[in-house]
Amino acid sequence: MRNKIFIFLLLFLITILFLFYSCNNNTNKNKQTYNEKAEYADFLIIDSAQFNIGNIYEKCGKVSHIFNIFNSSNDTITISRITQGCSCVSAKVNSHIIFPKDSIKLNITFDPTNKKGYFNKHIFIQLNQGDFFIMPGISGVVN
């Protein structure tokens, strides 16, 4: 009887370890990777890299700001990935390609629901497969 209990516990532990390993392995595959050597894209000119909305009211709902992003270089720039750090912020661009001496619009929307107080949110935008990045932001106070 003791041998059966021991074998059962051993199989149970092996199953738990296998499940734990499988979950961890799948999580690591889905993680986004960033180029640690990426440089800030100073050739992109943003009309206001950090926009302060000021005081807003939660009951008034979502607020947005449109950033103009100008490519001052002679190279075509491609937006590879847009990452928001919070579900209260969303970002959309009118084009994922910025041609030389041309501009695009980036619309950042903030949802103040349950976010009373000061906020400062940034959008991480990877360019040219992660070689460059920009981080426009939006801030304000929710009353």
Q: What pLDDT, in 10s, does the model give residues 57-87?
A: 999 999 999 999 999 999 999 999 999 988 9
Rounded average pLDDT over 16-32: 47
Residue 9 pLDDT > 60, yes or no? yes
Rounded distance between C-alpha atoms, residue 102 and residue 68, angstroms? 10
Radius of gyration of the chain (CA): 23
Regarding predicted confidence, which is higher, 76 or 16? 76
39-40/132-134 β-pairing? parallel
Rounded distance between C-alpha atoms, residue 136 and residue 134, angstroms? 6
110 close to 64: Cβ distance less than 8 angstroms: yes
Residue 22 pLDDT > 70, yes or no? no
| pTM for the structure as a whole | 0.72
Rounded average pLDDT over 48-62: 92
Rounded average pLDDT over 22-33: 43
The pLDDT assigned to 16 comes to 62
Q: What tokens appear for 33 in the block?
A: 């990777």
First to last CA, the chain: 67
Q: How confident is the model at residue 24 (pLDDT cuts 50, 70, 90)?
A: very low
Q: Hey, which bits of the chain come out as E strands?
A: 39-40, 44-46, 50-56, 63-71, 77-84, 89-93, 97-98, 103-110, 117-127, 132-134, 137-142
The pLDDT assigned to 31 comes to 41
Q: How confident is the model at residue 120 (pLDDT cuts 50, 70, 90)?
A: very high
The pLDDT assigned to 1 comes to 67
Q: What tokens appear for 134 in the block?
A: 């920009």
